[in-house]
Structure 1
Amino acid sequence: MQSSDPGHFFETDAEQATRQRRAAKSGNKYGNPIVLKSKILAAVLDPRSPSSAVLVAESAGADPESTKTVYRGPTTPVSCVTVGGPNNGTLFAGAWDKSVWSWDLDTKTPGKKYIGHADFVKAVVCARLRGKDILISGGADKKIIVWDITSGARLHTLKDDVVNMLSIQDLAVDHAASTESEISLISASSDPHIRRWKIRTDGWEQVVEELPNAPGTERRTILEHETTVYKLVLDHDGDEVDLWTSSGDGTAKCLSRIKNFSCEDSFQHGDHVRAVAVTDQWVITAGRDEDIKFWDRASGKLYCSLLGHYDEVTELVLLKNAKGSAERLCSVGIDGTVRVWPLAKAGLDTLVEEQKKPVAEEKREETKPEGLLSAEEEAELAALMEDDDEE
């Protein structure tokens, strides 16, 4: 007889406590959860409905999906998704089968399958180069592959042969530094190094620059974290586009472009930070500890921490209004839920007050003297005693 119940296997006391805590927490309705059938490993904004829809990738050999549409194909976990191609109408998904799958967003018709990685595909992004639509994928095989979307041809394979590059975790196209004839790409990996690349139709190069405060000293990578960098987010702050990062070292950081991508601000979330999102008002972080933390961008102080997910949070996506401004936050996680949160202070304050109530009730229960009945229990006992007297 086979079982998938973790309770049927050996567990440490800590593992049992974590499982029991998550089971107790799983019924909460914070963030109005949409429950899917397996772990959610990635999410991206649906360009057809940016205010109310995201495309998500699941671990159960499932396909990228929204609550209304399923794109079928992969039988292994899907680990990353992006949208691009002609008219921004193609969905791309990297999977554990070492391939990148594609579909027409509107018709759900499968498109080309891009095969070339030797291990899981962990990150995908799209760009344009000399009028061509380009797909860029990164894998656990330590490679970044550049593809011609239309023909399916592999154009380049990027590798760092000097500073050992580990499994790719994320890719970001730096549009502010790109031109019609050159893509500026930033990559993050399981090592703490962040790398920059220049990609052309006829070749590529890794950005190696001389440090302004150390003439004659070259820098091949940006090194501001201590371990794995999970997420890269490029954010406009006035005329500058800064780079935001999240890491397994427990921090999210703002790397200033005008300061040669050195750390401008650091937010100590704690535990692995898998995702970061940024608005004019907030820096939002989430990860292994399950909580979503809102930091005041101006002061750097923690404003609030929201409960809801009962396992690791893997992605944060900003939902935008018709003017392109962020109006809500969507989070997804290993617990298989999609949740939506307010960004306005009033909405956050209301949620925080709601989440305090169960905690206060638990504390009252914990501090109740042993053997002392609650008001409800006393009433029930009195009713029973009256019944006995009548008999």
Structure 2
Amino acid sequence: MAFNKGTSADQFFQTDAEQAERERREAKAWNKNGNPITLKSKLLAAIPDPTSSSSVLIAESAGSVRRVNVDTGDTKQVFRGPSAPVPCVAVGGPGNGTLFAGSWDKDIWSWDLKSKAPGRKYSGHSDFVKAVVTAKLGGKDILISGGADKKIMVWDIETGSRLYVLQDQTVSMMAVQHLVVDPVESRNDEVILVSASSDPHVRRWRIRLDGFEQLKETSPDEPGAARHAILEHDTTVYKVMFDSEGEEVDLWTASGDGTAKCLSRIKGFATDDAFHHGDHVRAVAVTDQWIVTAGRDEDVKVWNRSSGKLYCTLDGHFNEVTDLVALDGGRRIVSVSIDGTVRTWPLNQAELDKVNKEKEDRAKGVEKETPAEPSKGLMTLDEEAELAALMEDDD
């Protein structure tokens, strides 16, 4: 194994493989696929902006949340406060007017969504806050957070008081990766929460004002039997979401085992369909026509929902894709990445067919892609190791 000594600090003592990977990323960074909007930090999560149909709210490693308008390219509205990376973001509170962000500094920060004025800070986790979600419970606005400390905490948004700490007492729950509220089973007096973590179990919780419990699951293999949690993956589950298109509002998951899965509600959340993306799948998005997956291999893959077959691969990112946001009723998808770019892809079939045709032509030598100027801000090896600690922390 040879070592290369470069001219910059981040190139000293790189192995051949590390140097080759850097060169590959630098070459790929020249592309303009997905009309990239380039930011100066690593992008760790994104959600739709409830105040604008063309904007997303992005959690940044720079310790801020940034509003990005994908139509105009405006990136100037920034919510600042944390001095450490922000890996998760949510909107809630009265009138959905408050922005929340969990941070490496172990706190959840908040701001007024319109004025950007700082609000209350919620402190209680003993390690990175990796997931946040909001809900209403008995007329009360609540915030739910999950951390690398293996705990899920429920907060009263108005008072800042911590209501509950949820932990699996039967099977060791590892770092919480994502949280989502079940829109079907939740009611005014109880919230059904779904959690994903660095172990392969997906857990459901019933939260009420007078207490909480972890739900037992129907066993798909033994009628009448129960299982401790939903176990349909082999390793870390990075994201959970509910399908807004299907009649049953099924649960969708993205996992480090390389698959995204549809877990059928009527089958007790057993696997109904699986999409084999390959490598770690960090994000999944669902429309009435397409399933979109993305993750460590840098590609955004579009699957035909009816046939289950891969329809188109959208390549443009040159580092791990961390999140996907569907806009305009699923007519386009926004992807964000550790490479610092926000890319927007149309999902109408004609545009996807055009992408496929261009790839076929290039493969035949009909057209050669001309690179534009390379994007700046590639990570140093130390930065890559630091981000890997955030994204992969199983402690």
1:195 counterpart residue number: 203
Rounded to whole Å, the distance in 1 between the matches of 2:250 and 2:28 is 37
Contact 2:55/2:67, CA 8 A, preserved across alignment: no
> Is 2:11 the partner of 1:8?
yes
Provide, for residues 202-234 of structure 1, a one-character-per-residue CA deviation record: whole Å limited to 9, x for no partner. 110000145375366431110000000001110
> Is 2:342 the partner of 1:342?
no
1:90 counterpart residue number: 98
> Is 2:273 the partner of 1:269?
no
> Is 2:80 the partner of 1:47?
no
Which residue identity does 2:20 align to in structure 1? A
SS in 2 for 1:176: coil
Rounded to whole Å, the distance in 2 between the matches of 1:127 and 1:277 is 21
1:75 counterpart residue number: 83
Rounded to whole Å, the distance in 2 between the matches of 1:5 and 1:220 is 52
Tell me how far 1:5 sits from its aligned partner. 4.5
2:337 counterpart residue number: 333
1:308 counterpart residue number: 316
**Structure 2 residue aligned with 1:130, among 135, 138, 148?**
138
> Is 2:229 the partner of 1:221?
yes
Q: How many residues are matched?
A: 358
2:173 counterpart residue number: 165
1:24 counterpart residue number: 27
Rounded to whole Å, the distance in 2 between the matches of 1:125 and 1:242 is 19
1:207 counterpart residue number: 215
**Structure 2 residue aligned with 1:319, among 323, 327, 332?**
327
State the superposition RMSD in angstroms.
Answer: 2.0
Provide, for residues 156-185 of structure 1, a one-character-per-residue CA deviation record: whole Å limited to 9, x for no partner. 000001100000000000010001000000
Tell me how far 1:353 sits from its aligned partner. 3.3
Provide, for residues 42-83 of structure 1, a one-character-per-residue CA deviation record: whole Å limited to 9, x for no partner. 101001112x10000111233344313111101100000011
Which residue identity does 2:343 align to in structure 1? R
Gaps of 5+ in 2: 1-5, 69-74, 370-395
Do the aligned partners of residues 289 and 4 (structure 1) sit closer, same or farther apart at CA in structure 2, a change above 3 Å counting? farther
Rounded to whole Å, the distance in 1 between the matches of 2:245 and 2:205 is 23
Do the aligned partners of residues 209 and 288 (structure 1) sit closer, same or farther apart at CA in structure 2, a change above 3 Å counting? closer
Rounded to whole Å, the distance in 2 between the matches of 1:48 and 1:205 is 35
2:109 counterpart residue number: 101
Rounded to whole Å, the distance in 1 between the matches of 2:351 and 2:128 is 39
Which residue identity does 1:21 align to in structure 2? R
Computing the radius of gyration over CA atoms, which structure comes out larger, 1 or 2?
A: 1
Tell me how far 1:357 sits from its aligned partner. 5.5
Tell me how far 1:7 sits from its aligned partner. 4.7
> Is 2:259 the partner of 1:257?
no
Contact 1:304/1:352, CA 8 A, preserved across alignment: yes
Rounded to whole Å, the distance in 1 between the matches of 2:367 and 2:246 is 46
Provide, for residues 212-266 of structure 1, a one-character-per-residue CA deviation record: whole Å limited to 9, x for no partner. 7536643111000000000111003442110010100000000000000000000
1:58 counterpart residue number: 60
SS in 1 for 2:83: coil
> Is 2:155 the partner of 1:147?
yes
Rounded to whole Å, the distance in 2 between the matches of 1:317 and 1:237 is 15
Tell me how far 1:16 sits from its aligned partner. 1.4
Do the aligned partners of residues 278 and 170 (structure 1) sit closer, same or farther apart at CA in structure 2, a change above 3 Å counting? same
Contact 1:63/1:74, CA 8 A, preserved across alignment: no
Do the aligned partners of residues 364 and 233 (structure 1) sit closer, same or farther apart at CA in structure 2, a change above 3 Å counting? closer
Rounded to whole Å, the distance in 2 between the matches of 1:265 and 1:118 is 37
SS in 2 for 1:347: helix
SS in 1 for 2:244: strand
SS in 2 for 1:240: coil
Structure 1 stretch displaced more, 107-116 or 56-65: 56-65
2:382 counterpart residue number: none
Which residue identity does 2:157 align to in structure 1? I
4+ runs of 1 displaced by more than 6 Å? 362-365
Tell me how far 1:348 sits from its aligned partner. 1.3
Which residue identity does 1:338 align to in structure 2? V
Do the aligned partners of residues 10 and 151 (structure 1) sit closer, same or farther apart at CA in structure 2, a change above 3 Å counting? same
Contact 2:362/2:368, CA 8 A, preserved across alignment: no
Which residue identity does 2:94 align to in structure 1? P
> Is 2:286 the partner of 1:278?
yes
Contact 1:277/1:318, CA 8 A, preserved across alignment: yes
Do the aligned partners of residues 75 and 212 (structure 1) sit closer, same or farther apart at CA in structure 2, a change above 3 Å counting? closer
Contact 1:246/1:275, CA 8 A, preserved across alignment: yes
Contact 2:248/2:265, CA 8 A, preserved across alignment: yes
> Is 2:41 the partner of 1:38?
yes
Rounded to whole Å, the distance in 2 between the matches of 1:34 and 1:76 is 23
> Is 2:251 the partner of 1:248?
no
**Identity within the alignment, %:** 63
SS in 2 for 1:16: helix
TM-score (norm 1): 0.87
**Structure 2 residue aligned with 1:231, among 220, 239, 253?**
239
Which residue identity does 1:336 align to in structure 2? G
2:297 counterpart residue number: 289
TM-score (norm 2): 0.87
Contact 1:269/1:293, CA 8 A, preserved across alignment: yes
Do the aligned partners of residues 309 and 357 (structure 1) sit closer, same or farther apart at CA in structure 2, a change above 3 Å counting? farther
